[in-house]
Amino acid sequence: MATSLTKFSRRAALLAPVLALGLAATACSAPGADESPTTGSDAAVSTDLGTDPITLEMYAETGFPLAKALADEFTKQHPNVTFNIREDQFTVIVENAPRVMASDNSPDIIRLPTMVDLVKDDLLKNLDPYFTAYGWDKFPASQLVQLRVGEGGTTRGTGSLWGMGLGYSVTGVFYNKKLAEQVGMTQPPATIAEFEQLLAKAKTAGVQPIMQFNKNTAGINFPHQALQNQFGDPAQVADWIFQKPGATFDTPAALKATQTIQKWAQAGYFPKDANALDYASMVGEFQKNNGLFMFNGDWESANLDKTMPGNVGFFLFPSESAGGKHVAMSAPNTFGIGAKAKNPDAAAFFLNWAHTNPTAREIAVKIGGSSPGGPSDLAVPAAAPNTVLAETLKASQQLGEENGAVDFTANATGGIFAAAITPEMQKLIAGQQTPEGYVKAVQAEYAKELSR
């Protein structure tokens, strides 16, 4: 015992200086940055690219070839500008963005997750001066509304512009044409009731009605929000996403949508193993003709045209009564300019070019599969006829005309998708959560995050 005690005290004596070293290496002040000066929005900007060689640092998303394709074309047209592109999975960018942008090697152009926190931490460049300089007021206002954040990172949807889209995506329902024929679907449903009839018909015919993933992140939030958008005023949904004071998720529309999802789950309209299916598996199963419908976005159009040519159709989720307004989740593939960017003017030039240059707009459609955005008087480049790409582009234009775009509820706060929507949705479809409980749990997490 005595020996072990001396052994211990000797060990402690040796550990003490080592620990002290560890402590010394740690600054004893509070962690985090000191208040850094805000980048003023009134700084002079230039719309001239010049001829000096410039290397633009870009941080883009793996599996999103549009960014690289646009960068290559830009270098072809403006040889003095080259790109250094770093790619990561989107979820990795979500986790890395604040630290990467706070570092000395902050990228010039970066694919952005939610912007509010970045604005709050002064990590993004205010694009208002470029908005004026390039005349982006000629773009439909609804195109850029999701990219606006109020002073100090409060409400979204108003205030200064902080990002632009490289392509503007639209979501809806893809359907398998062969299976549609098999269950007697001759045209896309005009009402939710018709859609539900088709689900029932598919089920009786032994066809998986909806192929949807729900592992890792809740893919069933797509149909959920599609229903929520129609069961109430979509402005209510938008207000909640934009964090307008007083907005709540605990609404009759959200509850009715949740009840419908529960009903569909109980009826077996979703795959029995949805909670074990991830996004890639869902797309794979749909391509194997396993599923009549799939709720997804136009970023998958080009891929589906390649893997199941001529066999896929697309429609915007219908309203409750025939002829009602379409509402769909539609969001820009947001790119922003870092507050510490070394070449902000060139980055802004590139973003403007991607919206207005004819070749760039064609690339956005052909490679990105989505609308290029830009001024309303520029025509959207046509896609090949009889492709689902052509259908999603048409849907995107129709949605723009009906002014029916809303952002994703999953984007309401930084943590809402991972902390509430995903686990609660997994519980809901497994019968472990009630619709009332679901709505309350999502709102509780939202309130908790906003109170921080």
Partner 1 sequence: MTSAFGSAPAGRGDPVATPARPTRPSAARAHRKRWARAGGTGWLFVLPAVVMYAAFVLRPLVLTIQYSFYNWNGIGVARWAGLDNYLTVFTDSDLLKIIGNALVLIVFFSFVPVALGLLVASLVRRITTGAFGTVVRTVLFLPQVIPLVAAGIAWSWLLSTNGLINQVLRAVGLGGVARAWLGDFDTALPAVGVIGAWVLLGLCTILLVTGMSKIDPALYEAARLDGAGPIREFFAVTLPSLRQEIGVCLTVTIIAALASFDIVYISTSGGPGLQTTVPGLEIYRLAFSQRQVGLASALAVVLMLLVLLCVLPIQRLTRGDKS
| Min separation Cβ 328 and partner 1, Å | 26
| Min separation Cβ 230 and partner 1, Å | 27
Stretch that binds partner 1, among 32-40, 258-266, 347-355, 398-406 (CB under 8 A): 32-40
**117 touches partner 1 (CB under 8 A):** yes
The length of the chain in residues reads 452
Q: Pick out residues in 239-268 that bind partner 1 (CB under 8 A).
A: none
Specify the 3-state DSSP secondary structure of 42: coil
**35 touches partner 1 (CB under 8 A):** yes
Specify the 3-state DSSP secondary structure of 147: helix
Give yes or no for a contact between 441 and 420, defined as CB atoms under 8 angstroms apart.
yes
**21 touches partner 1 (CB under 8 A):** yes
| Min separation Cβ 276 and partner 1, Å | 3
Q: Which is nearer to partner 1, 80 or 432 (CB)?
A: 432
**112 touches partner 1 (CB under 8 A):** no
Give yes or no for a contact between 147 and 164, defined as CB atoms under 8 angstroms apart.
yes
CA-based end-to-end distance of the chain: 51
**98 touches partner 1 (CB under 8 A):** yes
Q: Which is nearer to partner 1, 375 or 423 (CB)?
A: 423
Query: Binding residue for partner 1 (CB under 8 A) from 60, 67, 81, 123?
Result: 123
Which of 8, 330, 3, 329 is closest to 165 using CA atoms? Answer: 330
| Min separation Cβ 285 and partner 1, Å | 10
Instruction: Say what angle helices 234-241 and 221-231 make with each other, to 10 degrees.
Output: 130
| Min separation Cβ 447 and partner 1, Å | 14
- Build a one-symbol-per-residue string for 411-430: x at contacts with partner 1 by CB under 8 A, - elsewhere: ---xx--xx--xxx-xx--x
Give yes or no for a contact between 164 and 127, defined as CB atoms under 8 angstroms apart.
yes
Which of 294, 320, 332, 319 is closest to 402 using CA atoms? Answer: 319
Stretch that binds partner 1, among 44-52, 92-100, 154-162, 200-208 (CB under 8 A): 92-100
How many Å is the Cα radius of gyration of the chain? Answer: 25
**4 touches partner 1 (CB under 8 A):** yes
Side-chain half-sphere of 438: how many Cα atoms within 13 Å?
A: 30
| Min separation Cβ 33 and partner 1, Å | 6
Which residues sit opposite 332 in a β-bridge? Answer: 168
Query: Binding residue for partner 1 (CB under 8 A) from 68, 120, 178, 201?
Result: 120
- DSSP string for 260-311: HHHHHHHTT-S-TTGGG--HHHHHHHHHTT--SEEEEEGGGHHHHHHHSTT-
Determine if residue 297 is left, alpha or beta; phi over 0 gives left, psi from -120 to 50 gives alpha, anything else beta: beta
Determine if residue 382 is left, alpha or beta; phi over 0 gives left, psi from -120 to 50 gives alpha, anything else beta: beta
Q: Pick out residues in 205-244 that bind partner 1 (CB under 8 A).
A: 214-216
Which of 47, 40, 48 is closest to 130 using CA atoms? Answer: 47
**384 touches partner 1 (CB under 8 A):** no
| Min separation Cβ 182 and partner 1, Å | 22
**26 touches partner 1 (CB under 8 A):** yes
**138 touches partner 1 (CB under 8 A):** no
| Min separation Cβ 216 and partner 1, Å | 5
Q: Which is nearer to partner 1, 191 or 275 (CB)?
A: 275
List interacting residues with partner 1 (CB under 8 A): 4, 11, 14-15, 18-19, 21-23, 25-26, 30-35, 91, 94-95, 98-99, 102, 117, 120-121, 123, 214-216, 272-277, 414-415, 418-419, 422-424, 426-427, 430, 432-433, 449, 452
